Structures are given as C-alpha cells and as structure tokens.
Structure 1
Amino acid sequence: MKIKLPIFIVFTLLILLNFSCKSDKNKSSITTNEKVKPNILFILADDFGYKDTSVMGSEYYETPNIDKIANQGMNFTNGYANCQVCSPSRASILTGKNTARHGITDWIGAAVGEKWRNKKRYNKLLPADYNHQLNLSYTTLPEALKTQGYKTFFTGKWHLGGEGSSPEDHGFDINKGGWESGSPKGGYFSPWINPTLPNTKKGENLSMRLADETINFMKQNKDTTFFAFLSFYAVHGPIQTTQEKWQKYQQKAQELGVAEQGFKMGHFLPIKQQQDNPIYAGLVETMDDAIGKVMNSLKEMGLDDNTIVVFTSDNGGVSSGDSFSTSNLPLRGGKGYQFEGGIREPYFIKVPGLANGQINTTPVTGSDFYPTLLELVGADLLPEEHQDGVSLVPILKGETIAKRPLIWHYPHYGNQGGEPSSIIREGKWKLIHYYEDGHKELYDLENDIEEANNIAENNPDTVKYLDEKLFNYLNEVGARFPVKDDEYNAELEKKYLESVIKNQWPNLEKQRLKFLSDDFKPNDTWWDSKTTVD
C-alpha cells in the first residue's frame, strides 16, 4: 500500500533537504579553505650575483624564468645574504639567526688559526674558529613547518655538516643530493660524485636533475602541503656548460664588444670588471632553464595559485678567486668581500595575491625568510628561534616594518680577497670595521652604491653610534674574533702581492680571451653532453 503525504508536507521536506545540502556544501568548502595552507618552493642559487639576472640589469646573461618570479612577486632591491660566503648564509636562512649568533662564520672546511699559514697568503691575522656544523638544538625552518603538517624536501647543495648534520637531521623528510661538499664534485655532467644523488645516465646535467627531483617530489605530494627546498650547486665552480650554450654566449660577447681589459687589482686579488664569460653565462642559463621546468610543472599540476616561491642566493657573484666568473658592477667586489657585491643578492618573494610586480627598497636579509614564511602559512612565530629575522609580511601587504640595523660578521680572510671585518647597516649608512688595523669605512648607500667614497672622517658621530651598536651586538652573542699572527712578515706579504700582480693578473686576462676564442676547447671531463632541455 502506498502512503500519500499532504502536499504541504512534501514541499516542506524538499525545502529542508535543499537547505541541508547547501549547508553541507558550504561547511565542506569552509573546512577545506581553513585546512589548505600554501605550498612553499624555496629556490637557492649558489654564488649567484646581484646583477646576474636580466631583471636586475644584466645585458649578457639571459634569465627569463628567474625574471618572471621577480616580476610576479616582490623584488627586494636591498636584499642581502647574511654572509659573503655560503655556509653561514645557508645556516641563517634555516635558523633566522645572524652568523655571529649561530657561530658558522665561514664556509665549512675553511682553514682557521695557524692552519691559515698553509695558504701562504702571509696575512697579519689568524682567522677565528667557527662552528663546523649546524647546531642540532635549533628548531629549523623545515622543522617548524613540519609541525604545521608540511612534507619537507631538500635537493642540492647542503654544506652545513656531514654525517649527523645532514638535511634529514634538521627537518627534511627527503634529501636528494645534500651532503658535506660545497661544490659539485665531478662537475655538472654525470658521472658526478655525490653519495646522495646516484648517477642514472651519462651526460645528465646536474641542475636539470635537481629540477626533476623537485618535480617528482611535488607530483607525489600534490595532494598534501609541501615545503620544497631546491638548492642549486650552480653557479659554483668549476663552471661548465654545453658546447651549444658556450657558442651562443661567445657570439653574444663579441656582439656586445669585448673590452681590452677585464680585471682590476683589489687589495689581495684581481677583481673581474666585465660580464663576458660564455661558460658562466651558459651555466646561468641552464639553471634558469631548470627553474622554468619546475615552475611550468607547478602550473601544470594546478599548484601555482597556492604556492609561495622564493628565489635568492647565498652570497655575491664570484668576481675574484674561485673561477673569477662574473662582475657585480656597479656593486663593488663580490663573493668573499665586505662590499655590497659580496652580500647584496637577488631577493624575490612571490606570494599569490600579494605584491605582484612590486619593487621594495627596504633592507632585508636571509634570516627574515624564516618568520616571513611562518606568518604567510598562518603559523605562530617563534621569536626565540628566528632571533635576528623579522617577518616581511607587512611589506608584502604594502605596509612597512620598523627600522633596524643589519649586521654581518666575517672574522676571516676570504679565498676571494675579502678581509676580516664586521659590518652594520642602518638606513642609508653602512659601516665596515676592519680587524687588521681597526680602521673603519662609512658609506652612504643611497648616494654611493659603488662604495667609492669613504666618508667616515667627515661623520664621526655616525661612526661612533654605529660602531657601538655593532660591537654591543657582537659581544652580546659571543662572537669570535681573529687574532694577531706573531709570525707575520710584511716582506713576504709584499712579495706575494707583487707575484699576483705580475703573474696571476696577466694570466687571468689571457684565460678570459681564451674562453672567447673560436678554437676554445674545454677540459676532457665535460663538454660531452649534447643534451637539450626538454
């Protein structure tokens, strides 16, 4: 027997059922929106200079994919690494602490104390000791993100310790290629030497491999929330590229015009003044190609609208020492130096819906990434951890942050020619304290980005104010300092510098022209890769 309900009851039930369905749908949507946090893709280049991108003014290098990150996000034109060499800066990104506080003040493996004499540089000071691995007691950025439900991934250069201080020991669930070495052992074409990144096919390009590892991780975790840290070995020496890219940039250098002289003498070593190295340019473009591949993959997976992308470098471009690869002009110096060329970097943050295509001149550093990313994903800040970093979210929202000093501490001699020094920047003023003789240099960076005019003598009050603030901080955090070398011999140092001018400088000029010659042939350990980017 069929049961017949009055018509008004039927209509009432239909209305209630429709409302219930809408309510459940809205509830599901709200719950989803509350649950979803943005993914994070952090891209860190090695030894990549302030002017090594097209967007920052290079007419020689071509970096359309890196440029796109800058143009779609916020470009911090006063963005800094926390040190002029790699390991200290990398530690600061992961901890939110300045180098003097976390104690890694030189690249891990650098000689200290009396061992520095073995370098036969005959300097006045013995470099200070430093911590040789990242402190396990710190809560690192990936560890903080794991508490928010993030799956964490690292690929590429680590250089923050070996066994017992690997990426896995500091919060990364997966590690592909990170170990104690700071350079690409074996070069940029497989077979390379890396215990955590097995060789799979001969001639494979290292930068593209790291991109592929990142893409594989993102695909496997696209339905979760992830933090992917893509840490290129590029563009660290030994610099290598394919024959096709070398030829492209060899011709481009000729078209732009090859300068008669490519270097000028610095305090200890010649410093490159031209962007005209076709091998380095090819290495840069390949890294950019790899970044483009990762960014395209994000878009194909539909994740680009919910992924924060950061791009920066760990120190300035190598204008001296190492491979003498690039010029950072108009910035003075490069990697290892206390000048702007050693510490000012490309510094781009792309956040969907925020600060698209904007430029900001606020001075910021690598230690600011930690609190910035925490706030962007809705996590509580950890001020007891990121003690020297501040969140840049107000800036990304069009507001400002409080004025503060930025501090660097490098009580070492750089392989590239830098000097033991400490730096403080506040507003437009930059003060450099030199440990060899205690003298100080003061620069007005708003009007003298080249650091050509030391105005310390004319501004004694500013010098005193900044110097006191600098050393109050260094003493507070227990910074270590270089000491006088009792065996210093001024005559031996003079002979060393004369040899650099007489022999090394001319040889560098010859090498520069050789790289640009039509009959250039590289070392047998590379150039055998004809692989094109797919």
Structure 2
Amino acid sequence: MNRRAFIAFTAASTLINRQSAFGIRPAPKPNVVFILIDDLGWGDVGFMGNEFIETPNIDRIAKEGVVFTNAYCNAPNCAPTRACILTGQYTPRHGVYTVGESKRGDTRNKLIPIENTQRLPADSVTIAEALKTAGYTSACVGMWNLGRSREPESMPLAKGFDYAIEPKQLGFQHQMEGSDSRNSGGPALNYFEGEEYVTDRLTDKGIEFIEKNKGRPFLLYQAYHAVHRPYQPKPELVAKYKNKGNNPRGDLVEYAATVEAVDQNVGRLFAALEKNRLLENTVVFFFSDNGGDLGQKQGTNAPLKGGKGQLSEGGIRVPLAVRMPGSTLAQVCTTPVMSFDFYPTLLELAGAAPPKKHIVDGESLVHLLRGTGTLKRDALYWHFPCYLGKTSPCGAIRLGDYKLIEYFEDGRVELFNLKDDPGETSNLAREKIKVADELHQKLQAWRKAIHAPVPTEPNPDYAPSSSNRKGRGNGGKKTR
C-alpha cells in the first residue's frame, strides 16, 4: 500500500471508529421497489384524474410522493423502454428499437427498416449489475422481453439479477382459447391458471423476495404483465364495474377490472414493506412502459393524441409517481423526464459509482425528488426507425414546450406547442419555421452524435396503397 493510499485508509478508519464511538451510524442504503406496468394509459389511474377506475393504493404513491406530469418512455412500446430503464441509455446505444422484427405489420412499406436487436448487448451494464458494487441484491419478477429462455445468456440472471421468475415459470404460458398473438397486440398470456391469477402470483414472488432480503439493500423490479391485452380480469371485479354508474364508456369494464387487480397487488406490496418495517427506507416507483393501447379502445390517453406504437404524446407520455422514504406530502413536478433517468437516479440513491465504459444518457432525478434543484439537459430525443401498425419510421425531439416529429419516409416534420396544445391538434411547422428549423437541426445533430441509423433503402416490394394509412403524419400531406 503506497503512502497516499495508507493515509486515505487511516483517515477513513478513524472516521468510522469515531462514528461508532459516538453511536453514529451511516444512513442505511434505501431499498427500491420499481413497479412497471404494461400498456397503462396516461389517464388510467386516479392520481392522473381517472374517476372510474379505482386505484387507491397506486394513488398512495402519488399522495405521499412526487407526480411527474411530463414523464416519457424512450420508445412507444415495450422492449425498448425496458432496455432503456435497465441501461440508462437512448435506444441507438443498445439497438433495441421495438418488439420483435422492425418490419412488423405490412411488409410492402416504402423503406427497409433498420434491423432490430431483441436482446441487450453483451457489454451493457444493467442497473442490477451496477448496484452490486453498492452491496445490493436484485430480483426481476415478471416480464423481461429482452431475450428468450432458450438463450440463458440474454436473460435476467445473466444480466446481474440474483433472482428472476417469469409468468410461464408459474404455469401461465398457455394462450387463451381462440386468441391470436398477431391480433392481440402481443403474446396472449392466460391471466388465469386454474384458480390462480398471474398478477397475484407475481406479487407473491415479489413479497417472498422482500422478506428473504429484508436485512440487506435490495432492488425489486416488479414488472407486471398487466394490463396488456387480451384482458381476462377477475370475475368479482368485472361484476363490480358492470354495476358502477359513472362508466364513461360502456367498453371499459374488463380493462378497469384488470387495472384494479394491479392496484390490489400494489397494496399487498405496501403491506409487506410495512409488516417488515421497510417502508420508510424504501423508494417506490410506479411507471408504465408505453402509452395506453388503443387497439381495443381501452386505454385512456385523453387529452393526448394517439397511443401505444406512436411517437404522439399518447404513445410515449405515461403516469409516473415516486415515493421517497419519509415523504408524506404530495408534490407535482412538471419537468420533462424519461425512462432512462431511473438508472442514474438509482445509482445516486444507492451511493453507487457509474460503471466504467458504459455510457449513461439519463440524468438523475434526485434533485427533483427532493426539491433541491432541476435538470441540466435542454432536450429529450426519440428514435424509432421501424414500422409498427400505423407508425412509419420516425424520430422526435422535445425542447421546452415545443415538440417536433420527423418522418423518415419523406422527411416531413410536424411541430407542436405542448403547453397550448397537449393533444397535438395544430401543426405549427409552416407557421413557426424558425422554431421548426432549430429543433430539426438539433434532432439531426443528436442522431449524428449518437450514431443513430436512419432507414433510407427503398423496399423493392413497396406497394403505395399499403402505406396510405392514417397515423403517418398529417394525412400524408407535406407540412413544410
């Protein structure tokens, strides 16, 4: 040991001994319960204004914590958002842009989309791996969707998690009778297996992990399959919502019942933390992986435009509430934040150093959570070089109140003032040319800096009639 290292070691030892002598102990590292919901719309919980669906336990997080009214996913669907949460990176860093192939839907589109990566790169450092250096144990309970079980090197246990379990390991691998994954928006998981309900069983496993690890700092990544369609809610909750008188739409019964089943289990997680005297040293996050799925007219994204699979606000703006230890009063934060911000936030809360040779694009939210400061960045970016349903390859930027979307098929852009027009009803690209040019240039510069690939290769099987669909930006008209 050299002289400088010896002096540092001696000083640290002296400080620890003095603290022990006077009965002073370092503050314990906080536990983390990160609740991730699948396909939950911006307005599908009580703390976001829903008066039909009952979510008292989820609302508790908001009442005792911070609600972020401008919270975004890094992408408009499942897998890329999860990859960004776990790595703290923008999508071009890890290459996970969508779920499955990047040409999902009609294969006669105008461009050949950028190839999608369906698992995390081998050199990615997940938040579970990064927290190990601070003494944390971690669990991934529920949906992973960044690899296949036949490829164990891509699964949670190979990515830093100490414990992992998926629905199919609990017996929920069967598809519902008559279901079709191509038409159901994804894998048609059976919510019931006999008398057991998948959301309940995943919570059972989360609680088991909490109780087994209550003596050490932990990360519980509780990634529910709900509220992904097709819906198969509990019969007693269906009966309840059928009899409710304030149903804004007659078709919300099964969806509302599925959401409340999640809320019941959030209550069970709270109860487990309280029973084990852990709540006041646990940070609780509640987030959705993308906007509500409008395919069956269930999710509530209003007044936002669009839904899952689109870079419109309804596809990427989601509910977020965070409860910090010792917090009792509700706060509202309007600062735009993004799913990759959770990674550096957890590092700071845990006192863990950022991993070497792993770029972190997100920014810690700790100052926002504590009300002691704001963020340094000026803009947020999206890159979606894929086809998905009604969505063609595109990118976006939000700078202040303005948001610009660029469509790669023909270079069209749309500009919206989100403060005045959160529903993106008025395209200002022709009216505010200077603003549109500034945002477009920043978006292009960001893509160049991060090496984001843009699809340009024409599709030899292109059929113009197949691309003439709604949702591709201003009805196919040139905006500038």
What TM-score bracket applies, with the shorter chain setting the length?
A: 0.7 to 0.9
Q: Which consecutive aligned stretches of 4+ in structure 1 deviate over 4 angstroms post-superposition? A: 23-26
| Aligned partner (choices 88, 110, 113) of residue 127 of structure 1 | 113
| Aligned partner (choices 360, 376, 392) of residue 402 of structure 1 | 376
Aligned counterparts, 1:176-215, within 5 A: 176-177=165-166, 185-186=173-174, 202-215=194-207
| Aligned partner (choices 123, 133, 137) of residue 147 of structure 1 | 133
Q: What is residue 278 of structure 1 aligned with on the other side?
A: 253
Q: Which moved more, 1:242-251 or 1:465-474?
A: 242-251
Q: CA contact under 8 A between 1:350 and 1:356: conserved in structure 2?
A: no
Structure 1 residues 123 and 324 mapped into 2: Cα distance closer, same or farther (>3 Å)?
Answer: farther
| Whole-angstrom distance in 1 between the partners of 2:351 and 2:273 | 22
Q: What secondary structure, in the 3-state scheme, does the structure 2 residue paired with 1:126 have?
A: coil
Q: What secondary structure, in the 3-state scheme, does the structure 1 residue paired with 2:381 have?
A: strand
Cα displacement string for residues 98-137 of structure 1 (whole angstroms, at most 9, x for unaligned residues)? 1122211111x2353xxx5xx4464323322121210121
Q: What secondary structure, in the 3-state scheme, does the structure 2 residue paired with 1:409 have?
A: strand
Aligned length: 435
Cα displacement string for residues 423-449 of structure 1 (whole angstroms, at most 9, x for unaligned residues)? 100111100001122110001111111
| Alpha-carbon RMSD | 2.6
Structure 1 residues 324 and 484 mapped into 2: Cα distance closer, same or farther (>3 Å)?
Answer: farther
Q: What is residue 110 of structure 1 aligned with on the other side?
A: 101
Instruction: With the length of structure 1 as denominator, give the TM-score of the two structures.
Output: 0.77
The percentage of counterpart residues that share the same residue type is 39
| Whole-angstrom distance in 1 between the partners of 2:38 and 2:466 | 34
Structure 1 residues 419 and 356 mapped into 2: Cα distance closer, same or farther (>3 Å)?
Answer: farther
Aligned counterparts, 1:54-69, within 5 A: 54-69=46-61
Q: Which moved more, 1:241-250 or 1:210-219?
A: 241-250
Aligned counterparts, 1:350-369, within 5 A: 350-353=323-326, 356-369=329-342
Structure 1 residues 201 and 344 mapped into 2: Cα distance closer, same or farther (>3 Å)?
Answer: closer
Q: CA deviation at 1:26?
A: 5.6
Q: What is residue 264 of structure 2 aligned with on the other side?
A: 289
Structure 1 residues 292 and 148 mapped into 2: Cα distance closer, same or farther (>3 Å)?
Answer: same
Q: What is residue 168 of structure 1 aligned with on the other side?
A: 157
Q: Does 1:30 align with 2:29?
A: no
Q: Which amino acid aligns with 2:275?
A: E
Structure 1 residues 220 and 126 mapped into 2: Cα distance closer, same or farther (>3 Å)?
Answer: same
Q: CA deviation at 1:381?
A: 3.6
Radius of gyration: which is bigger? 1
Structure 1 regions of 5+ residues with no counterpart? Answer: 1-22, 190-196, 260-275, 498-534
Q: Does 1:476 align with 2:449?
A: yes
Q: Which amino acid aligns with 2:70?
A: N
| Whole-angstrom distance in 1 between the partners of 2:22 and 2:282 | 22
Q: Which amino acid aligns with 2:165?
A: K
Instruction: With the length of structure 2 as denominator, give the TM-score of the two structures.
Output: 0.85
Q: CA contact under 8 A between 1:81 and 1:365: conserved in structure 2?
A: yes
Q: What secondary structure, in the 3-state scheme, does the structure 1 residue paired with 2:243 have?
A: helix
Q: CA contact under 8 A between 1:242 and 1:282: conserved in structure 2?
A: yes
Q: CA contact under 8 A between 2:88 and 2:362: conserved in structure 1?
A: yes
| Whole-angstrom distance in 1 between the partners of 2:380 and 2:66 | 20
Q: Which moved more, 1:136-145 or 1:170-179?
A: 170-179
Q: CA contact under 8 A between 1:76 and 1:362: conserved in structure 2?
A: yes
Q: What is residue 7 of structure 2 aligned with on the other side?
A: none
| Aligned partner (choices 85, 89, 104) of residue 81 of structure 2 | 89
Q: What is residue 412 of structure 1 aligned with on the other side?
A: 386
Q: What secondary structure, in the 3-state scheme, does the structure 2 residue paired with 1:125 have?
A: coil
Q: What secondary structure, in the 3-state scheme, does the structure 2 residue paired with 1:172 have?
A: coil
Q: What is residue 230 of structure 1 aligned with on the other side?
A: 222
Cα displacement string for residues 170-227 of structure 1 (whole angstroms, at most 9, x for unaligned residues)? 11000011789xxx743699xxxxxxx9x99722010011111010111111111111
Q: CA contact under 8 A between 2:394 and 2:406: conserved in structure 1?
A: yes
Q: Which amino acid aligns with 1:171?
A: G
| Whole-angstrom distance in 2 between the partners of 1:226 and 1:492 | 49
Q: Does 1:379 align with 2:352?
A: yes
Q: What is residue 10 of structure 2 aligned with on the other side?
A: none
| Whole-angstrom distance in 1 between the partners of 2:337 and 2:19 | 43
Q: What is residue 302 of structure 2 aligned with on the other side?
A: 329
Q: Which amino acid aligns with 1:289?
A: Q
Q: What is residue 274 of structure 2 aligned with on the other side?
A: 299
Q: What secondary structure, in the 3-state scheme, does the structure 2 residue paired with 1:430 have?
A: strand
Structure 1 residues 57 and 121 mapped into 2: Cα distance closer, same or farther (>3 Å)?
Answer: farther
| Whole-angstrom distance in 1 between the partners of 2:391 and 2:261 | 29
Q: What secondary structure, in the 3-state scheme, does the structure 1 residue paired with 2:348 have?
A: helix
Q: What is residue 192 of structure 1 aligned with on the other side?
A: none
Q: Does 1:318 align with 2:293?
A: yes
Aligned counterparts, 1:509-524, within 5 A: none
Cα displacement string for residues 234-256 of structure 1 (whole angstroms, at most 9, x for unaligned residues)? 0112211122211222232x544
| Aligned partner (choices 421, 424, 435) of residue 451 of structure 1 | 424
Q: CA deviation at 1:461?
A: 1.5
| Whole-angstrom distance in 1 between the partners of 2:168 and 2:127 | 18
| Whole-angstrom distance in 2 between the partners of 1:386 and 1:310 | 23
Q: CA contact under 8 A between 1:80 and 1:345: conserved in structure 2?
A: yes
